[in-house]
Copies of this chain bind each other. A is one copy, B any other.
């Protein structure tokens, strides 16, 4: 974990701006879970907020409603199989950390595990919006800590040193895209 560097909170949205798929961890009363989530996006810059769609049938929903916190982490391509696995099983039925032999550390600002080896982390506290949660399964949260692997994200920009270190974007049925070529456009 020595390559993790703090991302200034006002720049945290840049971790999510390109729409990568994520892994969500949470914990409540000593019980933890890990799941995949493609439906995560920034909502505001500073203080940073983000949104997560969290189905009412998931075990993570129960934990997040209990704790009011979760961690968004960005898996690399080398973690795509893990991402699919934790997105295809139910934490109420098995301990996914044990089943998939997931190495964890502790989050810094919230009570939750984090998955080691991810590219970036956004620790979040839920902003209570019962109507959105009940009607839309939509959770709005403030990002209270952000950090990233300096080998792939520094000075507010992603820069992938190799194919396996790229962020990923979920389609469906186990199909993903890797984040592709970076290019620069100049204002007309």
Contacts and interface: CB of A to CB of B under 8 A. Distances in A.
A183 to B, nearest CB: 6
B88 A187 contact: yes
B131 A136 contact: no
A172 B186 contact: no
A157 B175 contact: yes
Copies in the assembly, this chain: 2
Given A39-B42, A51-B51, A185 B177 contact: no
Nearest to A44: B136
A90 B132 CA distance: 31
Interface residues of A, number: 54
A181 B180 contact: yes
Contacts of A175: 157, 182-185
B172 A14 contact: yes
Contact of A177 (B21, B131, B140, B182): B182
Contacts of A186: 81, 174
Given A18-B177, A19-B169, A169-B179, 20 more contacts: A14-B171, A17-B169, A18-B38, A19-B20, A41-B51, A44-B136, A77-B183, A88-B187, A131-B131, A156-B172, A174-B187, A175-B182, A175-B183, A176-B183, A177-B180, A177-B181, A177-B182, A178-B180, A178-B183, A179-B179
Interface of A: 14, 17-21, 38-44, 49, 51, 53, 77, 80-81, 83-85, 88, 100, 131-132, 136-138, 140, 156-158, 163, 166, 169-172, 174-188
